[in-house]
Amino acid sequence: MKNKNINDLELSTILGTASDEFSNDKNYVVQSFTFRLTLSFINLYALILIALFFMVKGNLVLGINNNFLETGFLSVLNSRASLIFLLLISLNISAYFNLGFKYVCLTMMVYMINSAIDNAVLFSSFMHLTDRPYISVFNVTRPLFIISLFWVFIIHKDKKKITKNLYY
């Protein structure tokens, strides 16, 4: 419905302020196919890791050695699954809005390296590769996950900072 009190000059003034010159839509960055593919791998890997935790927690998968659940491994898995889920959410939000992606990616990389060292030091004495093969697969492939985080960190394109010239 058109307002009768607004004439064509006022409409052109209103539409002129919303032109392409002042639009923020042209300020987005299109990421490469490699970036999107690697980020999809990171999401899939982390979601499978979280699903595996819930399967172990619910005792839905059987293993050869069930003693590692009583030794505190389940509480460590619980905190790690929660933290990796929050980091994954933060990574996806920062990738979508293209704000702070490298910081979140670096935080996730440090966390995954710390988690790998913790697994190697704390749980290596009672958990062998043959005890729980589905958990061992993730422990063995964790360097691939860290490499993909590093690769996404490198190939991410930041927004170019636009400096407006105040002196026309």
Q: pLDDT tens digit string along 2-47? A: 556 666 666 666 666 555 455 555 556 778 889 899 999 999 988 8
Mean per-residue pLDDT of the chain:
76
Q: Which of 74-78, 100-104, 107-111, 127-131 has the lowest mean pLDDT?
A: 127-131
Model pLDDT, residue 158: 76
CB 87 within 8 A of CB 107: yes
Entry pTM: 0.69
Res 108: pLDDT: 92
pLDDT digit string (tens) for 73-83? 777 778 888 88
Mean pLDDT to the nearest integer, 123-138 = 67
pLDDT per position as a tens digit, 148-162: 999 999 998 876 654
> Over pLDDT 90: what percentage of the chain?
21
